[in-house]
Amino acid sequence: MSSTRAANTHGPGRSSAEPRRVPTRRVSFDEALQEVPRYFAQDGDLISGHLIAALSSVFPEGEDFFVRSVRDVRSQLEDPELKRQVAGFIGQESIHGREHRAFNERLAELGYPTRIFDRITKRGLATRYKVASAKSNLAGTAALEHFTATLAEHVLTCEETRQQMGHPVVRELFEWHALEESEHKAVAFDVYRAVGGTERMRIWTMKAARFSFVLFMGLAVLGSVAGDKRTYRPGELRASWKRVRSSPILNRALWSQLREYDRRGFHPNDRDTDKLVERWRIELFGDEGSLNSKLAGAA
């Protein structure tokens, strides 16, 4: 498939005359993150905090892998619009990695094993990067980008999930990240198609990624919770598990949305999130945007 066709694969609800905006916003949460307490999730929930910490711990190395895999094939792209989107993708992902590193350092200071999970992620992705082909690594990036896009849409549409993040700075960090994941959700996918990636590789890569990601995250949360002294207070773990089990993040609909990727002919823009993205652009970075103060150069 040509890069021109890939760049114009917009899906329902998007006109080919409307180019995808992928702006690089130079935000910084570093100073504000120093206010985050040990048990930052809503009502100090035990498992929720460890789940968020484990998820954040894989982002920096994951984002670096995404950038490398797309950059490796950038010279093969011919369509100028897709090239522009790739530049925005690389800019956004690079800053995501930087800000989550800052968050993870704060979490490590608070006693979360984020540095350990970061090292495990780094070694695993470094090994994959060396042994797999450029196209295979790009397929992995496209698959994991569907994970982040699905979670991002959930965060931006579900107030309950945002509330469960607890501390305002943590919510703001994930809202910003979710907005930008939604903005560039199809870029790696379109690059994969543009360089001739097959449906077979795309689908089977996702099946493997879905299994390995869920397994790793499950083990990471278990290990993190097991290392917390609060876990062993009578009734603490049971009460937290009851709250987490009823969380919308464990809803079957979210899992079904992840599995949509397995359908032949799937495209990320089959789910039209344009209005959602525009709403959050205004909410976070409009004239009265709540995160304007986090932008570089803000007074």
Q: Does the pLDDT of residue 13 top 60, yes or no?
A: no
- pLDDT digit string (tens) for 186-196? 999 999 999 99
- pLDDT bucket at 253, cuts 50 / 70 / 90: confident
Average pLDDT, integer, range 71-82: 95
Per-residue confidence (pLDDT) for residue 1, from 0 to 100: 37
- pLDDT digit string (tens) for 139-155? 999 999 999 999 999 99
CA–CA gap between residue 291 and residue 116 (Å, rounded): 30
Whole-number Cα distances in Å, 50 to 201, 223, 233, 267: 33, 9, 16, 32
Q: Does the pLDDT of residue 214 top 70, yes or no?
A: yes
Model pTM? 0.92
CA–CA gap between residue 214 and residue 195 (Å, rounded): 28
CA–CA gap between residue 5 and residue 3 (Å, rounded): 5
**Domains in the chain with CATH codes:** 37-294 (1.10.620)
* Residue 263 DSSP one-character state: S
CA–CA gap between residue 134 and residue 129 (Å, rounded): 8
Tokens of 27: 């935000």
- pLDDT bucket at 18, cuts 50 / 70 / 90: low
CA–CA gap between residue 285 and residue 295 (Å, rounded): 9
- pLDDT bucket at 251, cuts 50 / 70 / 90: confident
**CA-only gyration radius of the chain, Å:** 19
* Residue 27 DSSP one-character state: B
What's the chain's average pLDDT? 92
Per-residue confidence (pLDDT) for residue 17, from 0 to 100: 44
- pLDDT digit string (tens) for 94-128? 999 999 999 999 999 999 999 999 999 999 999 99
Q: Does the pLDDT of residue 23 top 80, yes or no?
A: yes
Q: Does the pLDDT of residue 263 top 80, yes or no?
A: yes
H-type alpha helices, the chain: 3-7, 30-33, 46-71, 80-109, 114-131, 134-157, 159-164, 168-183, 187-194, 199-226, 236-245, 252-259, 274-285
Per-residue confidence (pLDDT) for residue 254, from 0 to 100: 87
Instruction: Please name which of 64, 55, 73 lies closest in space to residue 155, comparing C-alpha atoms.
Output: 55
Sign of CA dihedral 210, 216, 219, 221: negative
Q: How many CB atoms lie within 10 A of CB 37?
A: 10
CA–CA gap between residue 163 and residue 156 (Å, rounded): 11
Tokens of 239: 């009460």
CA–CA gap between residue 262 and residue 204 (Å, rounded): 8
Q: Does the pLDDT of residue 46 top 50, yes or no?
A: yes
- Percentage of the chain modeled with pLDDT above 70: 93
Q: Does the pLDDT of residue 20 top 90, yes or no?
A: no
* Residue 19 DSSP one-character state: P
Per-residue confidence (pLDDT) for residue 297, from 0 to 100: 64
Q: What angle do CA 12, 14, 20 make, to 5 degrees?
A: 135
Q: Does the pLDDT of residue 179 top 70, yes or no?
A: yes
Per-residue confidence (pLDDT) for residue 252, from 0 to 100: 84
Whole-number Cα distances in Å, 265 to 19, 85, 209, 260: 21, 22, 19, 10
CA–CA gap between residue 98 and residue 286 (Å, rounded): 23
Rounded to 10 degrees, what is the CA torsion of 125, 105, 113, 245? -90
Cβ atoms of 268 and 148 closer than 8 Å: no
